[in-house]
Structure 1
Amino acid sequence: MDSAQLSTPEAKLADAKKQLNFPRIVVICGSTRFMAEMAEAELRETIARPAKIVVKPGCDMKSSHDLWSDPVEAQALQIRLDELHRSKIVLADEVLVVGDYIGDSTRAEIAYARSLGKPVRFTHPEIDPGA
């Protein structure tokens, strides 16, 4: 692929992953109420053949924690985490939506992934908003 074809950062990233012979990267999306299911999906995707690199939400802000006990700090943190998760979607080769419910945030993540041309899979395909 010549440099003229690598016109976007996303195309450059995809080319670099190909040159490095990276495993596919899957990002797990969904409501944080499904954190246990996300951990199970991470395990299954990691040990699958071929194995995948898995990224998922790093924390559950619906559970209490000192790091987001202040409402103002929690709101700023949520914005940063949303931006971080969008970066994970850009990094990933595919998206796996976990759980049997899709809220506004997950719906926006699915739309974003699809706008980037990322394949989206569901643990519960019947909830696919694009179906």
Structure 2
Amino acid sequence: MVYIEKSVEEYEAENAALRARLAELEQEVYRPCPVICMCGSTRFKQAWIDVKRILGCAGNIVIGVDLWGHHEHVYPDEQFKTFLDDLHKRKIDLADEVFVLDIDGYVGESTRSEIEYAKMIGRPVRYLSQEMPGYVEPEDPLVRLEQERNEAQARAERAETLLAKGVAEYDAMFAVGLIDYSEPEWVEGARELIEAAAALRGGGK
């Protein structure tokens, strides 16, 4: 059997090639994810959730807001608002780029300030209207449920009013002798429906 020994140079060349390949594999496995800071009005809560999902599923780390003031109609005082605005700029500091939710072309004062800050520190700024033209904000399920509840409550109130009117007219006719037979089943049933409608209306408040 013949053994062919490699030179030191050949071993070193092989080791260097292996180290280079290992470094490439580490880059592939541990490739850092881009960090994106979203900016925009908090009135578009469903768009924030939807676009964050899209960007996150594309392999990005997405930073957003912590409160939904405009959407939930809860407005901080001026001091706390200033704190939140400054906090969002610190989030931009951490990000590689900024993604603006300019729904229907709307960009508020705070968002404009964040865009200017991002450009000042050299962060690229992307816009929803440019990357997803024609984007429509998804329907808010909570708003839809609130609308359905209000509609059901209005129907209950209407039914209660109509039923009460019918029973009152029957009682009036019975009181003056226009009706001399015992109370029919529909009146008894109507009274039960009135109570049910009132309970439904009261429970929905």
TM-score higher than 0.5 here?
yes
2:56 alignment counterpart: 46
1:32 alignment counterpart: 42
Instruction: Give the alignment partner of residue 119 of structure 1, picking from 113, 124, 128.
Output: 124
Which ranges of structure 2 fall in alignment gaps of 5 or more residues? 1-29, 132-205
2:65 alignment counterpart: 57
Residue deviations 1:98-125, cap 9 Å, x none? 1231121111111100111111110113
**Offset at 1:81?**
0.6
Higher relative contact order (CA 8 A, sep 6+): 1
**Offset at 1:60?**
1.5
Q: 1 CA distance for matches of 2:113 and 2:130?
A: 17
Preserved contact between residue 38 and residue 64 of structure 2 (Cα < 8 Å): yes
Instruction: Give the alignment partner of residue 87 of structure 2, picking from 76, 81, 84.
Output: 84
Number of aligned residue pairs: give it: 99
Q: 1 CA distance for matches of 2:32 and 2:81?
A: 30
Structure with larger Rg: 2
Runs of 4+ in 1 over 3 A off after TM superposition: none
Instruction: Give the alignment partner of residue 115 of structure 2, picking from 105, 110, 119.
Output: 110
Residue deviations 1:13-66, cap 9 Å, x none? xxxxxxx85311000001111121011111001111xx011001111222245x
1:12 alignment counterpart: none
- Aligned residue for 1:124, secondary structure, equals helix
2:100 alignment counterpart: 97
1:3 alignment counterpart: none
Preserved contact between residue 43 and residue 69 of structure 2 (Cα < 8 Å): no
Q: 2 CA distance for matches of 1:85 and 1:74?
A: 17
Q: Percent identity?
A: 35
- Aligned residue for 1:32, secondary structure, equals coil
* Greater percentage in helix: 2
- Aligned residue for 2:98, secondary structure, equals strand
